[in-house]
Structures are given as C-alpha cells and as structure tokens.
A = this chain, B = another copy of it.
Amino acid sequence: MAATKVGGKGMEANFHAGSDSSFCKPTCLPEQCATCNVRHLSICGALEEDELGALASITSFVELTGRDPITAEGEAADYLFNVTRGAVELYKLLPDGRRQITGFLFAGDFLGIALNDSYAYSAEAVGGVSLCRFPRKKLEGLLDRFPKLERRLLNVASNELVQAQDQMLLLGRKTAKEKVCSFLVRLSDRAGERGDDPNTIYVPMSRSDIGDYLGLTTETVSRNFTQLKTTGVIRLLEGGMVHIPDLGTLRDLTEES
C-alpha cells in the first residue's frame, strides 16, 4: 500500500464517499452506517437516525492496512476521523527520533479533538483499520446545526483529558513494573467495557510501541513481561493474546487507588 497520508491528496481510490451509495435519498443511510456496530459508541450516536444522513453525506469511508499514516504532526488538520475497526496509534517525535505514543484508538474512538488548525500528533494504523473521514470545515458546520453533536464532542474531549491526566501520572511517577501492569489493566478494562472477556486480552502492539507509550525501552517492557509471566501473573498466548488468571493480583501491582 502507498504511504500517502489519508488526510492528504492521495488514496482517493481507497475510500468511497457516503453519497456514492447509488440511488439513495439524502436521508437514507449508506450501507457502512446501517451496518456499523460502533455507531452508538462514536460521535454518530449523538444523532437520531433521521439526522445521521447529514453526517453521512460528508463522510468518506477509508480502509487501511499495515502501518499506513493517517495524520502527521504539524500538518493542516483538514480531516477528522472516526475509528470503526482496528487500532490506531497517536505519537509525537523529538527531533532526534525519540518517540512518545500519546494514545491508542480503537473502534468507536474519535480522532482529531486535540488540534488547533494543525494536528498535534501523528496518527498511524496498527494493522487493519477502518475509518470514517470527515472534512473538518463541513463537520464544524454540522456542529452549528446539531448542538447535540457538539455536546458529544465536548464529552469526548473531557474523557480524553481525564485519560491524559492518568497517563501523566503514569509517566511521571510510576515504576516500570507499575507502568506495564497499569497498561495491561487498562486493556483489560476496555475489553470488559466492550463486552469481551477481561481475563484474556488482545495486545496488538509491539514491545517497542508499548515502550514508547509507557516511556520505557523495549528491553524493559520485555523484561517486565517475562517477570510477570514467570511469577504467574500473566500467560502469553498465541497471536498477541494475553491471559490474566487473577486481575486482582495485577491490579495490586499498579499502585492505583
């Protein structure tokens, strides 16, 4: 796949405008929305069925693979996104290449709150990802029409800020072991929220991604994983799955309230 950014001019072949869906009245939803299983989780959930058409009409549907870039830090923020499948990582770089991943996004998450005209971070796909892409100007126009949508965005921003505070506490004050355990607990909590088994979590990201998220090196992450493994707190399964026999034990190691 080409390494063109989704926000840029390329990849036009990779997505289809919502209005493309042939003989469909404006109020009729494109197939992607009709079958979307994270609609109630995402910002779309703020709108009623009959209002959703307006949002859908400005939406393009994007499919990504591998490590396709989505946004680049500092670039004009012309598009905002909804993740409907897969995982996305957000990161910032220092000039010498040091990287800090500021967050992972999953299905239902919104990408593009943290910006003032230009993106505050780069975003790239981790494996297969589906996105809804909204032109920023047009989305802002919809905010005027649907205050409910704006309220929802404010809630999203609020929640992201709460998460950001937690992450600052983790980065600034937790030990390597506490960081790794907190990370696993968070993935487990999210799995639970999605209705998945919180004791068997999917960890799609590499050790180096985890390190860059927790402010550690890959080696330290790896060492802590093996230590948790040998002490029986976790079991590493096939395909990036991790089994946690006793969440209480793991949670005790995070030092969280």
Contact = CB atoms under 8 A, between A and B. Distances in A.
Contacts of A116: 155, 158-159, 162
A178 to B, nearest CB: 9
Contacts of A158: 113-116, 157
Contacts of A171: 168, 171-172, 215
Interface string A80-103: 000000000010111110111010
A72 interface: no
A167 B147 CA distance: 31
Contact of A165 (B96, B120, B144, B169): B120
Given A147-B144, A172-B171, A256-B94, A102 B165 contact: yes
Contacts of A167: 168
Interface string A151-179: 10111011111101111110111100000
A28 interface: no
Interface residues of A, number: 47
B114 A161 contact: yes
A115 B162 contact: yes
A173 B98 contact: yes
A221 interface: no
Interface of A: 74, 90, 92-96, 98-100, 102, 113-116, 120-121, 143-144, 147, 150-151, 153-155, 157-162, 164-169, 171-174, 212, 214-215, 255-257
CB-based closest 5 A-B pairs: A172-B215, A114-B161, A157-B157, A171-B171, A164-B164
23 contacts: A92-B166, A92-B168, A93-B257, A95-B255, A95-B256, A98-B173, A98-B174, A100-B169, A102-B164, A102-B165, A102-B169, A114-B164, A116-B158, A116-B159, A147-B147, A147-B150, A150-B151, A153-B154, A157-B161, A164-B164, A164-B165, A167-B168, A171-B172
